[in-house]
Structure formats: C-alpha cells, structure tokens
Amino acid sequence: MKQLRIMSVFGTRPEAIKMCPLVRELASRPGIESLCCVTAQHRQMLDAVLEVFSLRPDWDLDIMTPRQTLSGITSKCLLGMDEAIDTLKPDMILVHGDTSTTFAGALSAYYHQVAVGHVEAGLRTYDKYAPFPEEMNRVLTSGIADMHFCPTAGNRENLIREGRTENLFVTGNTVIDALKTTVREDYRFSTEELNLLPYGKKKVILVTCHRRENYGEPMKNIMLALRQIAEERQDVELVYPVHLSPVVREAVDTYLRGAPRVHLIEPLPADEMHNLLARCYLVLTDSGGLQEEAPALGKPVLVLRRETERPEAVTAGTVKLAGVVQDDIVTMAERLICDKDAYEKMARAVNPYGDGNACRRIADAIEWRYGLRPERPADYEA
Ligand code: UD1
Ligand code: UDP
C-alpha cells in the first residue's frame, strides 16, 4: 500500500525544537512516510537543534542571510518550496507556529493545492503588531490550514470565535514532548561555565531576548534593566545566551556587556538550555517557547513584552508580564529575588501545555483524517 507522505517544514530554532519529536513520531507509523524540509531561516541555531535530535532533513532551502528582511525570508521560502514540493510530492505539509517560514510554507502548500496541518495553532494576542510579525503569520496560516493542532482548549476557543469550527484538535504542545527527552537530573553541561555556576548558593537568572517588536527603545530598556539588576544585587548571576541576530548583539554590546555578574554566552544547544532552565532560579525573557517550558519546571517567568499569547501560564501563576519599561522590570525582578513568599507563589510546577503526548495525538489525528485509524483521538485536557 502507498504510504502517506507527510512533509514537516520548519526553519527557526523554536520550530525545530517543537517539530523534531513530531517528525520522529510520524516516522514510527507504518502507514506514513515522514519527510522533513528545512528552510534554514536560522542556519546555525537550526543546525544545533537538528544535531541534538539527530535529524537529517530531506530538503534544505538554506535561505538565511545576515540581517534578512521579512520580505526576503518570505520570497526565498516561496521560491524554494516550489521545487521541494514538486520533487517530494507530499500529501500533506505540516507547519509550526508563527514565523515567516510558517506562513510562507503554508502559502506555498496552498499554491500547490497540498493540504496543510498547522501545529501550535490558535495562539492570539489580537494585536497585529505585537508580536510582530508573528500575530499576522499565525492568523494567515489559520486561514490556509486544513487541520489545526491547538496546544490548549483556549487556543481552540480562539479559532472557534473566528468561525473556524472544523478539524480542530487539542493536543498539548509538542515542546513538552521535547522537554521530556532532554531534561535529566544528572545532566553535565558541555559548556563548562554552566557546570560552575553557583546554583542554590546564588540566584541564577536565565535571560533571553530577541523579538522584533522589542528592537530599538524597548530592547535598550530591557538591557539597562538587566544591567541595573546585576549591578545592584550581589546575590544574583545572570546567564544570557545571546541570540545570533546582529540587532540583538548590538544592543547587548552597547548596554549590557561588562556589567558584573552577567555571563554573556553563545546560544545553547536545546538540551543544554533545557537543563539550565531546570536549574535556574528565575527566567527573564521575551521568548514564546520559554513561557511554555519554564512553568513545567516550576520556574517563575517575567515576560519582557507588553502582551502574551500564552495566558494559561499567567492564569496558573508562574508567568507575569513585566513589560518593557526599565523601572518596572527591575521592581518585579527584585521582588522575586527578595520576597520568598512572592517567589514561592510563582514557583509551583504547573503545566497547562501538555502531558508529553502531543506528537502522538497529532499523528493519530492525521491517520484518522486519511482513514488509517478508525477513531478520532481524544482531545488533551489540562
Ligand atoms: C525568528 C522569527 C521569530 C522567532 C525567532 C526565534 C520571523 C519573522 N521571526 O526571529 O518569530 O521567535 O526566530 O528565535 O520569522 N541569525 C544567524 N544565525 C542563526 C539565526 C539567526 O546569524 O542561526 C541572524 C541572521 O543575521 C538573521 C538574523 O539573525 O538575519 C535574524 O533572524 P530572523 O530569522 O530573521 O529573525 P529572528 O529575530 O531570529
Ligand atoms: N533555546 C535554546 N538555546 C538558547 C535559547 C533558547 O535551545 O540559547 C530554546 C528554548 O529553550 C526554547 C526555544 O529555544 O525551546 C525558544 O526559542 P526562541 O526564544 O528563539 O523563540 P520563540 O519561542 O520566542 O519563538
């Protein structure tokens, strides 16, 4: 019997972390041929993830250039995808989340009249410029998708409110599947500096920052806030794996480099990052993925943004919006550093984002849609 050809398309670090476990799960199904096409919107940061998950793509568009523009990414993805689809002839294309690769991958599938499954569907802020351009990427991708894999029931509700009522599946987030394979109590870092950090003795604060809408004034404020925290508090160590974006690096070099107790390091492989997350005291970040991972590990998160599309963790109490004003960030961080009760209230391990079986549910749903499985998979309930 002819196997169903499912082609996963991704290009950035977070998409790769969240899609590699799914590519593997699909490959384990006898009725499915699991193909993987990377756009390499991120080159080094993507390759680092592929290495951790030992995955070799079937197709590589290799589009990344320094300081790439949104139009540049989108147009290169579209042109490159033509040949990938014509050659690999998938029955369905899976895209993930809300990057430019996501939208261009879905649009390209549509131009070729190939079905689209959207993994991590239904996240919304309802502000089209925050996050930018992710909010519009995910709205447009929802418009194209034939199957919507929602991490949470709230994400499904968002799609229903928009009039999309068919083919919605609540699966949990595949990032929890990934986390289950990477975090180990006896983990030894290959980055020696991380083995030497004074976990337990001092408060190790994990920092990341990269969002486009934070470029300029907000990023400057964030860097100055980090500097102030590090200068004022001898009981903290800040660890910051700096994103490879030159815009981010310039802000770090201008406003943060040289501050005491700040460890500026290169981006970490996913397994190193997840284990550092498991050991740190607190997370300051504008990352989407970290807002999902940290609650599962009982680490409070202050989000360096004005909004979040991940309200579940805010409701659960482990994530708070700190905004992008220097004083606000410093005040909120200092409270969590000094006030044990405030810290303990946030540091409860809650996990609204999945039970580690999201990939199984997604693969089951695809099999069901194509008649390879009699029953629709049950929705994930938090
Ligand atoms: C992209 C996504 C964003 C996601 C983020 C995850 C878009 C528009 N943005 O943003 O949604 O949250 O990835 O990190 O899709 N670079 C390298 N090597 C790498 C990766 C990046 O040198 O491995 C540099 C390049 O100069 C590149 C720049 O970073 O031009 C920006 O990369 P880009 O993918 O355009 O934007 P991100 O801010 O990474
Ligand atoms: N991450 C990583 N190495 C790092 C920083 C982050 O592996 O140096 C992981 C992090 O644990 C999470 C994902 O990358 O799984 C988040 O990616 P990012 O913050 O770049 O993008 P976003 O989630 O905001 O789209």
Q: What tens digit of pLDDT does each residue of 125-136 get?
A: 999 999 999 999
Catalytic residue among 29, 156, 210, 233: 210
* 120 belongs to the catalytic site: yes
Residue 179 covered by a domain: no
Catalytic residue among 120, 272, 286, 312: 120
Ligand 1 centroid distance, CA of 267 (Å)? 12
Which spans in 65-210 are helix H?
70-88, 100-111, 134-144, 153-161, 174-182, 192-195
Q: What tens digit of pLDDT does each residue of 252-282 get?
A: 999 999 999 999 999 999 999 999 999 999 9
Residues 328 and 362 in one domain: no
Residues 250 and 146 in one domain: no
Q: Is 57 in the pocket of ligand 2 (CB under 6 A)?
A: no
Residue 100: count of CB within 10 angstroms of its CB: 25
Residue 170: pLDDT over 80? yes
Percent pLDDT > 90 in the chain is 98
Burial bucket for residue 164 (CB in 10 Å: 0-12, 13-18, 19+): middle
Ligand closest to 246 (CA) is: 1
Q: At what angle do helices 44-52 and 13-27 cross, to 10 degrees?
A: 30
Residues 358 and 316 in one domain: no
Residue 381 covered by a domain: no
The per-residue pLDDT for 2 is 85
The per-residue pLDDT for 94 is 99
Q: Is 223 in the pocket of ligand 2 (CB under 6 A)?
A: no
Residue 324: pLDDT over 90? yes
The per-residue pLDDT for 350 is 84
Ligand closest to 299 (CA) is: 2
Residue nearest to ligand 1 atom 17, measured at CA = 244
Confidence tier at 176 by pLDDT (50, 70, 90): very high
Q: Is 172 in the pocket of ligand 2 (CB under 6 A)?
A: no
Residue 30 covered by a domain: yes
Mean local confidence (pLDDT), 52-63: 98
Residue 310 covered by a domain: yes
Cα–Cα distance between 375 and 367 in angstroms, integer? 9
CATH number for 327: 3.40.50.2000
Residue 382 covered by a domain: no
Residues 203 and 167 in one domain: no
The total number of structural domains that make up the chain: 2
Domain membership of residue 107 as a residue range: 4-173+354-369
Residues 153 and 281 in one domain: no
Confidence tier at 327 by pLDDT (50, 70, 90): very high
Residue nearest to ligand 2 atom 15, measured at CA = 289
Q: Among 92, 105, 167, which residue's Cα sits nearest to residue 365?
A: 167
Confidence tier at 349 by pLDDT (50, 70, 90): confident
Which spans in the chain are helix H?
13-27, 44-52, 70-88, 100-111, 134-144, 153-161, 174-182, 192-195, 217-232, 246-255, 270-279, 289-296, 311-316, 326-338, 340-346, 358-369
Q: What tens digit of pLDDT does each residue of 14-27 get?
A: 999 999 999 999 99
Question: Given ligand 1 and candidates 9, 10, 12, 71, which is best to mutate, with the most ligand atoms within 8 Å of its CB?
Answer: 12
Alpha carbon 38 to chain centroid, angstroms: 16
The per-residue pLDDT for 221 is 98
Confidence tier at 248 by pLDDT (50, 70, 90): very high
* 118 belongs to the catalytic site: no
Nearest-atom index, ligand 1, CA of 210: 38
Residues 59 and 207 in one domain: no
Residues 309 and 258 in one domain: yes
Q: Is 289 in the pocket of ligand 2 (CB under 6 A)?
A: yes
Q: What tens digit of pLDDT does each residue of 91-108 get?
A: 999 999 999 999 999 999
Residues 69 and 86 in one domain: yes
Residues 56 and 137 in one domain: yes
Residue 307 covered by a domain: yes
C-alpha Rg value of the chain to the nearest Å: 20
Residues 244 and 362 in one domain: no
Confidence tier at 1 by pLDDT (50, 70, 90): confident
Q: Which residues line ligand 1 (CB under 6 A)?
A: 12-14, 41-45, 66-68, 70, 73, 98-100, 133-134, 210, 212, 244-246
Residue 377 covered by a domain: no
The per-residue pLDDT for 348 is 85
Q: Is 102 in the pocket of ligand 2 (CB under 6 A)?
A: no
Residues 158 and 198 in one domain: no
Residues 106 and 244 in one domain: no
Nearest-atom index, ligand 2, CA of 289: 23
Ligand closest to 288 (CA) is: 2
* 266 belongs to the catalytic site: no
What value does the mean pLDDT of the chain take? 97
Ligand 1 centroid distance, CA of 223 (Å)? 19
Residue 228 covered by a domain: yes
Q: What tens digit of pLDDT does each residue of 196-220 get?
A: 999 999 999 999 999 999 999 999 9
